[in-house]
Structures are given as structure tokens and as C-alpha cells.
Amino acid sequence: NDTPVLDSEGNQRKLYKHTASQNMYFGNVEDDEPAVIKQIKIIPRPTGNYITGLYAPAGEVIKLKISAKDLNSVGSFYVYVGATLANGQANNIWMARDFNRMPVIANKMPVNSAVCSFDENSQTYTCFFGSYLGGPIYIGSPNTKNQFAVEISGAVEYPYFIYGLTTEEEYNRLLQSSAPYFDMEIYDNAVRFSGPRTYSDNYSYAELCDSAELWDKISRVSKQVPTSS
């Protein structure tokens, strides 16, 4: 859609790289880091949003495509950019903690037929999103539990580890990225550990496997505890 988006004062809105994005996660995406085109299939689980393994550089426009069949099937969902918890809440900075950055660094943007442009020939919807501050990209869970797929282009890869899915070969390849973020997740239970990769880079693939196995056991046992406990 080439129609300019205007703000409340009638000025055209533009996406830019905010100065506060510098060293947001103790690092920056290098200028020559290659952007990728990635097909992502979402297999629903009981709770939690979904890791894409993609990072939106600050100020860069990211494109998302989805087939009309899939979007009509799920109706609507959200895209998150920035430090976001598995439950979709922004990983805010609490007042009691001393962090030298903005308190909220996550954006939540809808994907539906009203905000996307439709291509009759390809029967696909396309929308664009981005962030002044940049960050990891997550796909929100729609109200339905139907499977769907999206294609995201213009973002870069970052190191992530999904227990039982990410192979050692793939993880070592992702470590070549300059993106400064990291996610580790136990997929079935939507248990996620996130943060600057300056901490995760100290751990080997085998150590990540051991840690994820431990938290897989912890999360399964904790589900047996009554909610009133």
C-alpha cells in the first residue's frame, strides 16, 4: 500500500533508527549483516507466542506475507518486536532495577485483513512492520488453534535454541550472526529465557541442552502443583 501513513497532525510517519537503539542489548547488528527470507510454520501449542529466530534491525522495514487461506483461517494475530515474554507482555524494566535504557522496548502490531494489502493474483496478504529500537521478532498466537505459515523478509538471524529442535550445526551457524540477542525455549511448555547474547555465548551447545533438559523437568513437575499452592 503506497498511501502514506499520517500522524495526528497530518505529517507523514516514517520509521527511523532511534539513537537509543545503540548497544540496546550490549551490541549492534553490523551494517553488512545479510537480511534473509524465512518461511515459518506455526504449529499451535496450548500457550505462548512463537520464536521466529529473526531480529529486526532498528529502523529497518520488515515485510510479512501470508496466504489468504491461512489468514482467513486464523483471522488475526500479532507480531512483536523487542524484548517480549512468552505470554506476550513487554519485558519491562521495573522501577527497583537500575537499567540505563528505556523502560519499554517492545512493540505489538496486529496482522489482519484490515491492515494488510491483498494481492489478487497470488492470493496473499502483505504487511510491513518495524521498530525504532529493533529487537527479536515473535509471532503471537491467534485465538484459533489452526496451523498457519508466514514469510518474513528483511530481518536478520540471531542465535536461539529450542530444546529438541535446534541442532548443534544450526546453532553454530547462528552464532556467526552479529545480532546481539538470544532465546532459549522449552517449546511444549512455552518456558523461555531471553536476553543479551553476551551471556549466552559463554555456554556450549551441550550446556544449553543440559540446562533446557533441567527446565523441561522443572516445568513438568510444577504443572502438578495446585494453582492455590
Cα separation, 209 vs 67, in Å, equals 35
In tens digits, the chain (229 residues) has pLDDT values of 455 666 667 776 678 899 989 998 999 999 999 999 999 999 988 888 999 999 999 999 999 999 999 999 999 999 999 999 888 888 766 656 665 567 778 899 999 999 999 999 999 999 999 999 999 999 998 888 899 999 999 999 999 999 999 999 999 999 999 999 999 999 887 889 999 999 999 999 999 999 999 999 888 887 665 555 4
pLDDT for position 1: 43
Grid cell in block for residue 195: 536476553
| Main-chain dihedrals φ then ψ at residue 115, nearest 5 degrees | -105, -10
Cα separation, 160 vs 175, in Å, equals 9
pLDDT for position 93: 62
Grid cell in block for residue 218: 522443572
pTM, to two decimals: 0.89
